[in-house]
Amino acid sequence: MTISVSGREVAVKGPKGELTLELASPIEISVEESQVLVTRPDDERESRSLHGLTRTLINNNIIGVTQGYTKGLEVVGTGYRVQQKGNSIEFALGFSHPVLVDAPAGITLTVEGNNKVTVSGIDKQAVGEAAANIRKIRKPEPYKGKGVRYAGEVVRRKAGKAGK
């Protein structure tokens, strides 16, 4: 893995790919041996917050190009299913039509069984956004819990209407 700094641009290159990051104005960065040092000019509130943000964004890029990020989704509901269609995936979610979702650039969508989807890629923000957009198609509803949810997400259930 290599990290190169040119002006306000930080490029991280690893076995899975390359990511770049634009630095915020007061923050400085330097690469020394096997360490990336992020420094701030003063202890102003904005400088402190940008310092932590920049450090975390660089760390996310390093993890992304070495290990990558994955986010799991589950499709829950009778008759709800998902299947792979080439590079895109097709959802049957109780609508009158199947919903086709194309993978954004740099994101891989894989289907396991007929109710699990894995979103993977090197950019943490892009993986999270792609997973959120898929979940947005049919959010889990609180009465029966049907819909697309994140793996391990707990859906709060409500009591239905009371019978006579």
CATH number of 69-150: 3.90.930.12
Rounded CA-CA distance 23/86 in Å is: 38
Low-confidence residues in the chain, pLDDT < 70: none
The per-residue pLDDT for 164 is 75
Q: Would you kindly state where each structural domain of the chain is located, as residue ranges?
A: 2-67, 69-150
- 116, 102, 61, 129 alpha-carbon torsion, rounded to 10°: -70
Contact 137, 147 (CB under 8 A): no
CA 127 to chain centre: 3
Beta bridge partners of 19: 12
Determine the topology of domain 2-67 in CATH. Outer Surface Protein A; domain 3 (3.90.930)
Rounded CA-CA distance 88/95 in Å is: 18
The per-residue pLDDT for 163 is 75
Helix 124-137, helix 45-66: angle, nearest 10: 80
Residue range 24-48, pLDDT digits in tens: 888 999 888 888 899 999 999 999 9
Residue range 115-128, pLDDT digits in tens: 999 999 999 999 99
Answering whether pTM is above 0.75, one says yes
CB atoms within 10 A of CB 67: 12
